[in-house]
Amino acid sequence: MRPAISRFSAQFFSAYGMLGVLLLLCVYFTFATYRDEPATGAAGASALAASLERAPGTTAHVVIVSQNDDEENEFVTALQQELQTRGFPPPEVAQGDPPTVREKLESLARAGTPVDVVATSPACRTWPLFDAVKSTIPALAHIEVRAPEGGRRSAFLSRSNLNNIADQIAVIAVMAIGMTLVMVTGGIDLSVGSLVALSAVVTAWLIGAWGGMNASPGAMLLASLAGILLAGAVGGFSALMITVFRIPPFIATLAMMQVGSGLAFIVTKGESLYDIPVSFTWLGRGTGLGALPNSVLLMIVLYVLAHLLMTRTVTGRYIYAVGGNAQAARFGGVNVNYPLAFVYVVSGLMAGLGGVITASQLKAGAPTYGLGYELYVIAAAVVGGTSLSGGEGRIFGTLIGAFIIAVIRNGMNLMNVESYTQKVVLGLVILGAVLLDMLRRRRRT
């Protein structure tokens, strides 16, 4: 009985242990970034209106101060209505950046309009201009500055931040699919970072050549495909070197890393290309189903497909077989070269797609993209449980690995941990993951 339980728990933790770590991290950052944050928009407006009614009496002359975006407009409209129903005199509105607001306040003072209370949105609460106005304009010396109060919220667990995390990791996660396949065969692909740059600049360059700012969706699609296929072709070239000429993957892809980066600089002459229509940002910045960013939706689809490939198809089984024991696979009748070539082409294609997503997110293609990404991608796969010596690795493990890295990075940014410390922590996480992997292996044998 006991051995059965311990075997089950060993399996459970090896499969989902990293998921546990991810959840723990999320819980930790949720509480660590818990802070005072007053309600914004209409909710903030009604809270503020209620507190104004309680305090200085309903005869107060109010000036509403806010910025100009949608949420802030909602705040202004809601507050105007709330104040009206509560019997306040019709409030003045000063909207815009600090200089505009100050000008408005000064012109109100000049015109002799009575002002008792400045009601600001939470975003404008800390503007020092109110103090400045009070001390320089006698007519405004007595004003009271009020903003919505109360409310506590975790910066980490906000919807916008969760989207932010997924959006930040989409490129690395997509590339990590290819890397996982490569690593399962016992290889490694160091060229992926350069291929991001190459694909991004080729795509941007073709869009520029095929209409620039007025490029049609078809032209943009073709340009993106060309970028992705070129990266896939470079992956195919690596595969040729590895399978036919038996060059070790580390060396072959190291060479292609240099070639890819050099080509990206040649295409652009070292500059960034930005002759791209705004509609090209649909992939990187648009949102689709359930308000998820399109790049994240694409990532999810690719992970499901890759999972099916690795668990349900002959190709998937060959890939595991080659990594587990190439000799045995060969004797078993597997043409070892086919799965090997396949994984490097896929890795190239995924890196190419990563480049297109990056170009779309930044609305420009530059040869400096993807710098050092190979390390993050390898880290995602390794943290997710893919073995560096081949034969082992789960696609969804890699996704979890990618998210662990993204969550740590984002969480530390939200907690104001400076970038030197971040590097140390990330390095230790990777080391810890590999250490666990080795210990697990030793127990089994």
Partner 1 sequence: MKKLWMIACAGLMATLAGCNQQAGDNSASAGGAASNTTAASAPTQKGAIGVSLLTMENPFFKDIGNAMQDEAAKSGYSVIVTAGEKDPARQRDQVNDFIVKKVSAIVLSPCDSKAIGTAIQAANKAGIPVFTADIASMDKTAKVVAHVATDNYEGGKLAGKAMIEALGGKGKIAIIDHPEVESGIMRTKGFKETIAGAKGIQVVAQLPGGGARDLSFKVAQDILEKNPDLNGIFAINDPSALGTVAALEKAGRLSKVKVIGFDGQLEAKQAIKEGKIFADSIQFPDKIGRTVVQSIVKYMGGEKVPSQVLIPTSLYHKADAEKDPALKSKTS
Q: Is 246 left (phi over 0), alpha (psi -120 to 50) or beta?
A: left
SS3 (DSSP) at 9: helix
Closest CA to 174 of 382, 402, 375: 402
Beta-carbon contacts of 295 under 8 Å, excluding residues fewer than 6 positions away, are 167, 170, 171, 283, 284, 357, 360, 361
Query: Is 138 a residue that touches partner 1 (CB under 8 A)?
Result: no
Residues 44-63 that bind partner 1 (CB under 8 A): 55
Q: Which of 50, 57, 110, 132 binds partner 1 (CB under 8 A)?
A: 132
Question: Least distance to partner 1 from the beta carbon of 240, Å?
Answer: 30
Closest CA to 353 of 370, 340, 367, 366: 370
**337/413 with CB nearer partner 1:** 413
Query: Is 20 a residue that touches partner 1 (CB under 8 A)?
Result: yes
Question: Least distance to partner 1 from the beta carbon of 3, Å?
Answer: 13
Question: Least distance to partner 1 from the beta carbon of 86, Å?
Answer: 18
- Virtual torsion, Cα 190, 193, 194, 196, nearest 10 deg: 140
- H-type alpha helices, 313-394: 314-324, 326-331, 337-362, 373-383
Residues 272-301 that bind partner 1 (CB under 8 A): 272, 274, 281, 285
Question: Least distance to partner 1 from the beta carbon of 320, Å?
Answer: 23
Residues 385-444 that bind partner 1 (CB under 8 A): 408-421, 425, 428-429, 432, 436, 439-440, 443
Q: Which of 44, 47, 62, 72 binds partner 1 (CB under 8 A)?
A: 72
Q: For partner 1, which stretch binds (CB under 8 A), given 12-20, 173-181, 208-216, 381-389?
A: 12-20
Cβ atoms within 10 Å, residue 151? 14
Q: Which of 167, 189, 374, 392 binds partner 1 (CB under 8 A)?
A: 167
Residues 184-213 that bind partner 1 (CB under 8 A): none
Query: Is 144 a residue that touches partner 1 (CB under 8 A)?
Result: yes
**202/310 with CB nearer partner 1:** 202
SS3 (DSSP) at 273: strand
Count of residues binding partner 1 (CB under 8 A)? Answer: 90
Give the sign of the dihedral formed by CA 30, CA 31, CA 32, CA 38. positive
Beta-carbon contacts of 182 under 8 Å, excluding residues fewer than 6 positions away, are 188, 189, 249, 343, 344, 347
**248/270 with CB nearer partner 1:** 270
Query: Residue 208 and residue 210: Cα distance in Å, rounded?
Result: 6
Query: Is 67 a residue that touches partner 1 (CB under 8 A)?
Result: yes
The DSSP element (H or E) to which 119 belongs, if any, is strand 117-120
Question: Least distance to partner 1 from the beta carbon of 252, Å?
Answer: 25
Residues 83-122 that bind partner 1 (CB under 8 A): 97-99, 101-103, 105
Query: Residue 238 and residue 250: Cα distance in Å, rounded?
Result: 10
Query: Is 141 a residue that touches partner 1 (CB under 8 A)?
Result: no
Query: Is 43 a residue that touches partner 1 (CB under 8 A)?
Result: no
Q: Which of 17, 89, 236, 324 binds partner 1 (CB under 8 A)?
A: 17
Query: Is 378 a residue that touches partner 1 (CB under 8 A)?
Result: no
**243/360 with CB nearer partner 1:** 360
Q: Which of 79, 108, 133, 182 binds partner 1 (CB under 8 A)?
A: 133
SS3 (DSSP) at 333: coil
Residues 304-363 that bind partner 1 (CB under 8 A): 358, 361-363
Q: For partner 1, which stretch binds (CB under 8 A), given 30-38, 210-218, 339-347, 391-399?
A: 30-38
Query: Residue 436 and residue 87: Cα distance in Å, rounded?
Result: 67
Residues 212-271 that bind partner 1 (CB under 8 A): 270-271
Query: Is 134 a residue that touches partner 1 (CB under 8 A)?
Result: yes
Q: For partner 1, which stretch binds (CB under 8 A), given 6-14, 221-229, 240-248, 333-341?
A: 6-14
Single-letter code of the amino acid located at 323: G
Query: Is 149 a residue that touches partner 1 (CB under 8 A)?
Result: yes
Beta-carbon contacts of 439 under 8 Å, excluding residues fewer than 6 positions away, are none
CB 349, CB 356: distance < 8 Å = no
Closest CA to 321 of 339, 341, 308: 339
Question: Least distance to partner 1 from the beta carbon of 374, Å?
Answer: 13
Q: What share of the chain is helix, strand, coil (3-state, %, to 5)?
A: 70, 5, 25
Question: Least distance to partner 1 from the beta carbon of 161, Å?
Answer: 5
Q: Which of 87, 128, 138, 333 binds partner 1 (CB under 8 A)?
A: 128
